[in-house]
Amino acid sequence: MSADLVIVANRLPVDRVTKPDGSVGWRRSPGGLVTAIEPVMRANDGSWIGWPGGTGPDLEPFEADGMHLVPIGMEPEDVSEFYEGFANGTIWPLYHDLVAKPEFHREWWDRFVHVNRRFAEKAAGIASEGGTVWVHDYQLQLVPQMLREMRPDLRIGFYLHIPFPPAELFQQLPWRRQILEGLLGADLVGFQLPGAAQNFVRLVRQRVGHKTHRDTVYLPDGRTVTAKAFPISIDAAGFEQLAQTDAVADRAKAIREALGNPRKIFLGIDRLDYTKGIYARLRAFSELIRDGHFDVEDAVFVQVAVPSREQVEQYRILRDDIDRLVGRINGALGRIGKPAISYLHTSYPREEMAALYRAADIMVVTPYRDGMNLVAKEYVACRLEDDGALVLSEFAGAAEELRQAWLVNPYDINGMKSALLEAYEADDKQLNRRMKAMRKQIRQHDVAAWADSFMLDLSSAENSTHAKSVQPAVRS
């Protein structure tokens, strides 16, 4: 079977899980990437190449929820050296402002090249003549160039879902030139923010020596590559509809009751990742109670931490740190049946997330660095009454669009305390004004608009002379 549109991402939208009785099932994959691409895939008749989690050989392609999925298996060494190693032990911290220290290991790099080649080969095998391949995220930065060498007839797009760092940080990478050349295999390289696209173009000029003008790179063979920002978003209408259902409304009420109907509920929902600033936000909240600004009778902080990359040491350390912090805060400030922090180390389906968003008065999103942060946008989409407050880090991509949030510097604990307190004390009129403006922004810039604008730019790329034109994603 061949496909006119092929999505290539490290993960499939579903993970293969073995249940306690030994049978095999599928579970939705974590993270923002899957959330964003899924509606685009549904609207197109494409194929999605990705890893179903775990280890084992390539499984046969299959259909799930109307999507054609093509699994790529991983060996244990692929998981430890490509996924946990180079992708999440080198690139992830390097691209997130060195929030943790990246490690540089030559074996990890070799495995990164090897696994990227396998993804490129798989895509080359299923893309139709003159078709379009859309490659996603930091795990697969070498795929565009590899694929172009194998299939010069294809139109190739690449989108980076995480930040792209300034030259001063990127140049630490021993394989910086190979990564830049890998990305230059694409016709269009998309980023979350204009600053990231500028970082990339500057690095290409300085490190690879190609001519550039604004967002265009001129390659010696006559090809051009465009580097541009396409801020990603969510299925705003879908979330709004979900939030409107009776089931979600009832569940939101039940959550508030279970928490003892406090005056205000604070909420954090994040993958348990050191970039997310969970530790600092919980400290800021607890200090407000300690300082007497409010009491555990008045307010509770619900923190959902979705398990993530649990074999990577930095993530294990973080989990222990948060466990200890929550224990200490609740031990010092909680009362019987009234913890200061209600901490849940688990993942929830969309319905439960929507209910939490509806139940929460103050959403707290405080990453040290984040490509976009779709949780912030989901919260806004679910505030049907134009109420609720968003406290948002300046260092999340979403801060460029959600200007009416309480913007904070997550490194500044006192600043965060003031913002949390202001959001706690804000009157309805102020909340209303801010939320209305943010809701308008999210409605107008949803994930369908994001995909359409990327696809439109990609389909007008002039390089691939044989390329067929691809339909932009239709709204679902």
Residue ranges in contact with ligand G6P by CB under 6 A: 10-11, 30-33, 137, 161-162, 308-309
- Residue with smaller CB distance to ligand G6P, 4 or 137: 137
Q: How far is the CB of 393 from ligand G6P (least distance, A)?
A: 16
- Residue with smaller CB distance to ligand G6P, 80 or 330: 80
Q: How far is the CB of 35 from ligand G6P (least distance, A)?
A: 8
241: alpha, beta or left? (left if phi > 0; alpha if psi -120 to 50): alpha
- Residue with smaller CB distance to ligand G6P, 89 or 410: 89
Listed residue (191, 69, 76, 161) closest to 122, CA to CA? 69
Listed residue (69, 66, 68) closest to 16, CA to CA? 69
Q: How far is the CB of 84 from ligand G6P (least distance, A)?
A: 9
- Residue with smaller CB distance to ligand G6P, 142 or 435: 142
- Residue with smaller CB distance to ligand G6P, 10 or 464: 10
Q: How far is the CB of 199 from ligand G6P (least distance, A)?
A: 17
Give the other-Cβ count within 10 Å of 410's Cβ: 25
Tokens found for residue 318: 């973080």
- Residue with smaller CB distance to ligand G6P, 377 or 417: 377
Q: How far is the CB of 64 from ligand G6P (least distance, A)?
A: 17
Q: How far is the CB of 287 from ligand G6P (least distance, A)?
A: 30
- Residue with smaller CB distance to ligand G6P, 280 or 312: 312
- Residue with smaller CB distance to ligand G6P, 40 or 288: 40
Q: How far is the CB of 118 from ligand G6P (least distance, A)?
A: 17
- Residue with smaller CB distance to ligand G6P, 192 or 199: 192
Q: How far is the CB of 389 from ligand G6P (least distance, A)?
A: 25
- Residue with smaller CB distance to ligand G6P, 132 or 141: 141
Cα–Cα distances (Å) from 11 to 50, 350, 440, 464, in that order, read: 5, 19, 31, 27
Q: Residue 453: CB partners within 8 Å, gap ≥ 6?
A: 230
Cα–Cα distances (Å) from 5 to 156, 199, 255, in that order, read: 10, 29, 42
Q: How far is the CB of 139 from ligand G6P (least distance, A)?
A: 6
- Residue with smaller CB distance to ligand G6P, 358 or 377: 377
Give the other-Cβ count within 10 Å of 110's Cβ: 13
Q: How far is the CB of 340 from ligand G6P (least distance, A)?
A: 29
Q: How far is the CB of 282 from ligand G6P (least distance, A)?
A: 21
- Cα 417 to Cα 405: distance, rounded to the nearest angstrom: 15
Nearest residue to ligand G6P, scored by beta-carbon proximity = 31
